[in-house]
A and B are shown apart, each in its own frame.
Chain A
């Protein structure tokens, strides 16, 4: 299998490197032209190119909904299947078959090496449309490569990174729960946690979700600059882990702290652990910087609202924000 593949690659790329001018006696008998099979192989490669090329627009059109994943799989699967079929046609119909009982000895002299090169080169003489096949192969390869690179577009913005810093949180924006109701400060208990969003803004935006917990005031160790950020011991942090952007869905809340661990916010993906008492400091795990904290205030009705914006950019780290 491998030797046929190598022979195919040599056929494709090694032409024109022959240095000898005077022809030698043929080693391989003149092969009859296999024009129909050449066309079949070219057509298969062309189909592979079309299938792979379809991957890019399917990836781009999000409105396809649930069927998008299946279509992506179909296009890649078809592309590989067509390439495989083309390879089968090549191997079975276009490359001369030869039954080898003993493997070739390693070419020792220059003469033997030349003979081997000639053998391979002449084997390809049965091909009449080498340019067509070459272009079809290159097209299929290029389309497959483009399909495989397309998902990299989802890694994030490359140029306009300022939009990643934008959040809906500013002074006076109320915290609401999943159902859009404002959150009274008395609903946040020690040992309990809540997920909150900015009122009237997109809940799915990167900078929107918060995790809100209440600590005993005497346990708080916030930096001096953040005095007054935690009314009644209630602290709010971005719910998006600064490592890979998972939701901080774990709150470690000891029932009896003297015999267990201290309170911590933990990301379930890679166990980055943050200290809610100390301004979201990284205690453990791969996160490269602290969890951004949101200053809070309690309004006249007893509801929580933001007293400013995050202490740092929310979301996973990207270019230039990998600091603690």
Chain B
């Protein structure tokens, strides 16, 4: 049994490099079809006002992808951030344009240019109280305490409800668009797991009051309460003030 198992492992080990090389070359050809306008022929980026032009003379603008690693490529492609319709737009979450297989190939190609691999998120290893504290300090300013997203001047921090744990781990390390990045010496993998554990909690919030009102925050919720209380008061005043008889 053990013998057969080790044979299988050996066969896999022999096949894997070849399969991986195939994946990279497929990724490169996909890259050349869809990405070079903005990221350049050799993935070294395109400056907006330089002479470099992408495929078909399209003037795009994008950062170098050398060294960003599979981590960043997986985030941008699996969240549907790329490709961008307009290089000056904020990438927004969409249905991914590429199939899962194509994404794997593109990620393998970008990963082959160097950089960090796709991280493994383990929210179950994190501590929720620590996650709450770290989220409050580092994330809540933009994404709000309930991870519903918010606003900064120049960008819209997205809600985190549809982000997978892996995507959250990737975004924290990359810092997409205007988000700051948090390297490992600022937030350790363990701390990151705690933050993800907290974000996972916000996906299924406990509404003790019974009605979440979209979790839009304390002040709008207060406005709703005032509106309801005001209506009740008006109705009461109407009942009290009604003339008897007649």
Q: Name A's B-contacting residues (CB within 8 A).
A: 1, 99, 101, 178, 186-187, 189, 191-195, 247, 249-256, 258-261, 264, 266, 268, 271, 273, 283-285
- Extra pairs beyond A187-B185, A260-B90, A268-B150 (16, CB < 8 Å): A187-B186, A189-B186, A192-B180, A192-B183, A193-B180, A195-B137, A249-B137, A251-B180, A252-B155, A253-B178, A255-B175, A255-B179, A256-B62, A266-B152, A271-B152, A273-B153
Least Cβ–Cβ distance between A141 and chain B, in angstroms: 22
> Bound state CA distance, A194 and B150, in angstroms?
21
Pick out which of these stretches binds chain A: B19-27, B119-127, B205-213, B238-246.
B238-246
Chain B residues closer than 8 Å to A256, beta-carbon distance: 61-63
Least Cβ–Cβ distance between A100 and chain B, in angstroms: 9
CB-CB under 8 A for A261 and B178, given A252-B155, A268-B150, A271-B151:
yes
Contact among A194, A260, A268, A284 for B88, CB-based, below 8 A = A260
**CB-based contact B186/A258 at 8 Å:** no
- How many residue pairs link A and B with beta carbons under 8 A? The number is 89
**CB-based contact B142/A250 at 8 Å:** yes
Chain B residues closer than 8 Å to A192, beta-carbon distance: 175, 180-183, 186
B174 within 8 A of A: yes
Contact among B151, B176, B246 for A101, CB-based, below 8 A = B246
Least Cβ–Cβ distance between B24 and chain A, in angstroms: 25
B141 within 8 A of A: yes
30 pairs across A/B with beta carbons < 8 Å? A1-B241, A178-B137, A189-B181, A192-B180, A192-B183, A249-B140, A249-B142, A250-B141, A250-B152, A251-B180, A253-B175, A255-B63, A255-B174, A255-B176, A255-B177, A256-B61, A256-B63, A259-B48, A259-B61, A259-B62, A260-B88, A260-B90, A260-B154, A260-B155, A260-B178, A261-B154, A261-B178, A268-B141, A273-B153, A284-B153
Least Cβ–Cβ distance between A287 and chain B, in angstroms: 12
Chain B residues closer than 8 Å to A178, beta-carbon distance: 137
Least Cβ–Cβ distance between B47 and chain A, in angstroms: 6
Question: Which residue of chain A lies nearest to B133 when distances are taken between CB atoms in the complex?
Answer: A178
Contact with A along B142-161 (1 / 0, CB 8 A): 10000000111111000000
Interface size range on B against A: 35 or more
Chain B residues closer than 8 Å to A253, beta-carbon distance: 175, 178-181
Which of A1, A187, A260 is most buried by chain B, counting CB atoms within 10 A of its CB?
Answer: A260
> Bound state CA distance, A78 and B185, in angstroms?
54
**CB-based contact B47/A258 at 8 Å:** yes
Chain A residues closer than 8 Å to B181, beta-carbon distance: 189, 191-192, 253, 255
Chain B residues closer than 8 Å to A264, beta-carbon distance: 153-154
> Bound state CA distance, A31 and B246, in angstroms?
26
**CB-based contact B176/A261 at 8 Å:** no
**CB-based contact B183/A189 at 8 Å:** yes
> Bound state CA distance, A187 and B182, in angstroms?
10
Contact with A along B61-99 (1 / 0, CB 8 A): 111000000000000000000000001101000000000
> Bound state CA distance, A256 and B181, in angstroms?
13
Chain A residues closer than 8 Å to B155, beta-carbon distance: 252, 260-261
Question: Which residue of chain B lies nearest to A251 when distances are taken between CB atoms in the complex?
Answer: B180
> Bound state CA distance, A193 and B62, in angstroms?
24
Chain B residues closer than 8 Å to A259, beta-carbon distance: 48, 61-62, 87-88
> Bound state CA distance, A285 and B245, in angstroms?
59
Question: Which residue of chain A lies nearest to B144 when distances are taken between CB atoms in the complex?
Answer: A268
Question: Which residue of chain B lies nearest to A271 when distances are taken between CB atoms in the complex?
Answer: B153
Question: Which residue of chain A lies nearest to B182 when distances are taken between CB atoms in the complex?
Answer: A192
Chain A residues closer than 8 Å to B48, beta-carbon distance: 258-259
Question: Which residue of chain B lies nearest to A188 when distances are taken between CB atoms in the complex?
Answer: B186
> Bound state CA distance, A259 and B154, in angstroms?
11
Least Cβ–Cβ distance between A274 and chain B, in angstroms: 11
CB-CB under 8 A for A268 and B142, given A99-B245, A252-B155, A256-B62:
yes
> Bound state CA distance, A101 and B241, in angstroms?
15
**CB-based contact B177/A260 at 8 Å:** yes
> Bound state CA distance, A256 and B62, in angstroms?
7
Chain B residues closer than 8 Å to A258, beta-carbon distance: 47-49, 61
Chain A residues closer than 8 Å to B240, beta-carbon distance: 1
> Bound state CA distance, A256 and B142, in angstroms?
19
Chain B residues closer than 8 Å to A249, beta-carbon distance: 137, 140-142
